[in-house]
Amino acid sequence: MTSVVVWFRRDLRLHDNPALARAAESGRPVVPLFVLDEESRDVRPLGGASRWWLHESLRSLAEGLARTGLSLCLRRGPASDVLPEVVRESGAARVVWNRCYEPASAARDEKIETTLHAAGVETESYPGSLLMEPWEIETRQKEPYRVFTPFWRRLRESYRTPKRHPAPREPTPGPATAGDRLDDWGLQPTAPDWAGGLRETWEVGEAAARRRLADFIEDGVGRYGIDRDRPDLRGSSRLSPHLHWGEIGPHQVWRAAAPLIEAEAPGGSGPEALLRELAWRDFSHHLLFYSPHMEKDNWRPAFDRFPWREDPKALANWQEGRTGYPIVDAGMRELWHTGWMHNRVRMIAASFLTKDLLVHWRHGEAWFWDTLVDADLANNVANWQWVSGSGADAQPFFRIFNPVRQAQKFDPAGAYVRRWVPEIARLPDRSLHQPWEAPPNALSGAGIELGRDYPLPMVDHTAARERALSAYQQMRHP
Ligand code: FAD
């Protein structure tokens, strides 16, 4: 019997994986394949933190598949070359995969489909990475959505949880197919090994993702609506890298959270708020799917006239967490150390870069792309453009986060800043979020000299805000 190739991409799981389940159910021998494709046109190469995650995740996937008797074949190169090769070598007559929606990946997949069909090979692609396909949701005028709230309303009323696909029990293994050794791909950093903090922070892989979801449903989701904005608490799910790599799918999250909504005490907002945030992920993909230019360009062309500043030194201070604004520095250091940053702090840090420093959102997006373990093209560009004001349904440019007030509100006792900016940890609460306002005895009592032990603020926020607003006026009335 001819075999079927299951092409894994961002669906690195055995449970609820439509392509894998269908292949196994067909009774044909299954050849699981992952292609490290860094060469296809316009497909963005992975950032450093993503490469680290991918290595761990593939190891875990290979172990999971091995427990069912399947052996994961690893190949490197343009997918359009690799797939026909693997098909030939394994005598496959069918290739299946779960869809990715980024414009370059979708275009590549379409070409691959044509090539395989021309060679007499069947293909089938499945949904599974989003709650709904980008083209399944449209406005009454049959247009894509540009505003989140009506998108969410439509998704909420039309979403139907699909049938659950169990992990395959005893699939028929396909013929042994030569592949690469994971270690030879060099996805892990060597010298210097910067991944210590990532290893300490994360358990990677499907089993860890399932545990994290179960723990969050048990312990965290009830307070999610209240705590999700607090970086000093473990208020959010931290499922983002697992969702990005498909170690868990959004339907699994929905199935776990939705039944709690009715059971919630009146006024509770946890599970419903979680589903709404999950829909932001769909919305970002929807936007990028219909506006592919937004990966590199402003969604709103008016922003092409915005007078951004080229300032490599300011950018480096921001990247390294040396802006002199403790909440921004805490976020940037959390990011560097763990590969993740709390959503509220992502918004504050991104606002600081684009508005206080007037540095183009593309520089921030590129840094996040390299350092986030959940780096996701659609979510990253959509959120950067949301913060900078250049996106669809964006925060208006003139809403400029005050980093001190934000910190006082969302990190009220300073636990988050103290954790990530330990050099100022001994400052009293009153001065912690604005050390430049601390009386001299508070500074000396905490053993700090500003400018030596911790930077003075790079910019004065009030003046920076005025500068940003006049840059915005310049853009609007050139
Ligand atoms: P939870 O609050 O537990 O939310 C559950 C899930 O919903 C998340 O795992 C995520 O998949 C989704 N989600 C939540 N908020 C958003 C959002 N605003 N947009 C899209 N999806 C969301 N998220 C990424 O996954 N990858 C990125 O590259 C990314 N870049 C960002 C850049 C900036 C400047 C900003 C402001 C936000 C960015 N986000 C990104 C969105 C958000 O910060 C993260 O998804 C969230 O912090 C992940 O933590 P969590 O899993 O605990 O989220």
| pLDDT tens string 189-245 | 988 999 999 999 999 999 999 999 999 999 999 899 999 999 999 999 999 999 999
Listed residue (350, 358, 347) closest to 311, CA to CA: 358
Mutate to test the pocket of ligand 1, among 383, 387, 390 (most ligand atoms within 8 A of CB): 383
Instruction: Give the per-residue pLDDT at 457.
Output: 98
> Any catalytic annotation for residue 254?
no
Which atom of ligand 1 is least distant from the CA of 239?
A: 51
Q: How far is Cα 467 from Cα 473, in angstroms, rounded to an integer?
A: 10
The letter for the amino acid at 446 is A
Distance spanning both ends of the chain, measured CA to CA: 68
Catalytic residue among 185, 194, 308, 436: 308
Check whether residue 74 and residue 97 sit in a common domain.
Answer: yes
- pLDDT of 42 reads 81
**Residue 52 near residue 12 (C-beta atoms within 8 A):** no
180 CA distance to ligand 1 middle (Å)? 33
Q: Whose CA is nearest to atom 48 of ligand 1?
A: 240
- Here the tokens at position 279 are 């829909």
**Dihedral of alpha carbons 406, 410, 411, 416, sign:** negative
- Which pLDDT score, from 0 to 100, does residue 238 have? 98
Per residue in 266-289, pLDDT (tens digit) is: 555 899 999 999 999 999 999 999
Low-confidence ranges of the chain (pLDDT < 50): none
Backbone angles phi, psi at 406, to 5 degrees: -60, -45
The domain boundary residue, chosen from 255, 290, 325: 290
Is 37 near ligand 1, meaning CB less than 6 Å away? Answer: no
Within this chain, do residues 344 and 471 fall inside the same structural domain, yes or no? yes
Same domain for 315 and 274: no
DSSP output for 94-157: EEEEE---SHHHHHHHHHHHHHHHHTT-EEEEE--SSSS-GGG---TTS----SHHHHHHHHHH
Indicate whether 39 belongs to any domain: yes
**Residue 9 sits in the same domain as residue 75:** yes
Question: What pLDDT is attached to residue 266?
Answer: 59
| Distance between CA atoms of residues 274 and 7, nearest Å | 30
The minimum-distance atom of ligand 1 relative to the CA of 372 is: 28
Q: Check if 384 has its Cβ closer than 6 Å to any atom of ligand 1.
A: yes
- From 133, 138, 264, 343, the catalytic residue: 343
- 299 in catalytic set: no
Say if 194 falls within a structural domain. no
Contact 391, 382 (CB under 8 A): yes
Q: Decide: residue 20, CB within 10 A, 0-12 exposed, 13-18 middle, 19+ buried.
A: buried
140: CATH? 1.25.40.80
Nearest ligand 1 atom to alpha carbon 349 = 34
Residues 283 and 422 in one domain: no
What CATH number is attached to the domain comprising 391? 1.10.579.10
**280 in catalytic set:** yes
Helix (H) or strand (E) holding 82: helix 79-90
Q: Is 350 in the pocket of ligand 1 (CB under 6 A)?
A: yes
Would you say the CB of residue 395 lies under 6 angstroms from ligand 1?
A: no
pLDDT value of position 43: 87
Residue 68 lies in a domain: yes
Instruction: Give 230 Cα–ligand 1 centroid separation in angstroms.
Output: 14
Q: Does ligand 1 have an atom closer than 6 angstroms to the CB of 129? A: no
Do 458 and 342 lie in one domain? The reply is: yes
Domain ranges, residue 234: 130-164+206-290
* Burial of residue 437 (number of CB atoms within 10 Å: 0-12, 13-18, 19+): exposed
> What distance in angstroms lies between residue 69's CA and the mean position of ligand 1's atoms?
35
Is the CB of 243 inside a 6 Å radius of any atom of ligand 1? yes
The verdict on residue 178 lying in a domain is no
Residues 425 and 365 in one domain: yes
Query: Which residue's CA lies nearest to atom 15 of ligand 1?
Result: 277
Strands 3-8 and 73-76: unpaired
Q: Is the CB of 202 under 6 A from ligand 1?
A: no
| Residue at 177 is within a domain | no
What are the φ/ψ torsions at residue 9 (nearest 5 degrees)?
-135, -90
Please enumerate in sequence order all residues whose Cβ is within 8 A of that of 364, keeping only pairs 6 or more positions apart, or say none: 318, 349, 350, 353, 354, 384
| Nearest Cα residue to atom 14 of ligand 1 | 277
Q: Determine the Cα–Cα distance for residues 144 and 311; give it in Å rounded to an integer.
A: 37
Q: Going by CA atoms, what residue is nearest to atom 10 of ligand 1?
A: 240
Please work out whether the CB of residue 427 comes within 6 Å of at least one atom of ligand 1. Answer: no
User: Atom 52 of ligand 1 has which residue's CA nearest to it?
Assistant: 238
Q: What per-residue confidence (pLDDT) applies to 20?
A: 98
> Which residue, of 290, 323, 340, is where some domain finishes?
290
Q: Tell me the CA–centroid distance for residue 277 and ligand 1, in Å.
A: 8
Indicate which residue's Cα is closest to atom 42 of ligand 1.
343
Q: Are residues 337 and 419 in the same domain?
A: yes
420 has catalytic annotation = no
- Please say which residue of 264, 290, 316 terminates a domain: 290
400 and 451 part of one domain: yes
Give CA–CA dist 417/407, Å, rounded: 9
Q: Report the distance separating Cα 386 and Cα 399, nearest Å.
A: 11
Active site annotation includes 343 = yes
Whether 462 and 314 map to the same domain: the answer is yes
| Same-domain pairing of 244 and 285 | yes
Ligand 1 close to Cβ of residue 368 (< 6 A): yes
| Residue ID of nearest Cα to ligand 1 atom 37 | 383
| The predicted structure's pLDDT at residue 265 | 64
Q: How far apart are the C-alpha atoms of 279 and 151, rounded to whole Å?
A: 9
- 383 an active-site residue? no
Residues 141 and 122 in one domain: no
| Nearest Cα to Cα of residue 92 among 124, 128, 67, 69 | 124
Of the residues 52, 53, 318, 384, only one is catalytic, namely: 384
User: DSSP letter at 391?
Assistant: S
Angle in degrees, CA 210, 179, 39, rounded to 5: 85
The encoded tokens of residue 52 equal: 């680290």
Helix count and strand count (H, E) for the chain: 21, 5
CATH of the domain at 122: 3.40.50.620
Give 314 Cα–ligand 1 centroid separation in angstroms.
Answer: 25
Percent helix, strand, coil in the chain, to 5, is 55, 5, 40
Question: Number of structural domains, the chain?
Answer: 3
Domain contains 398 = yes
pLDDT of residue 268: 59
Query: Is 216 inside any structural domain?
Result: yes
How far, in Å, is the centroid of ligand 1 from the Cα of 144? 22
The span from the CA of 76 to the CA of 85, in Å, is 12
Ligand 1 binding pocket mutation candidate from 281, 283, 285, 360 (most atoms within 8 A of CB): 281
DSSP state of 45: P
Q: How close is the Cα of 188 to the center of ligand 1, in Å?
A: 24
Amino acid occupying residue 85: E
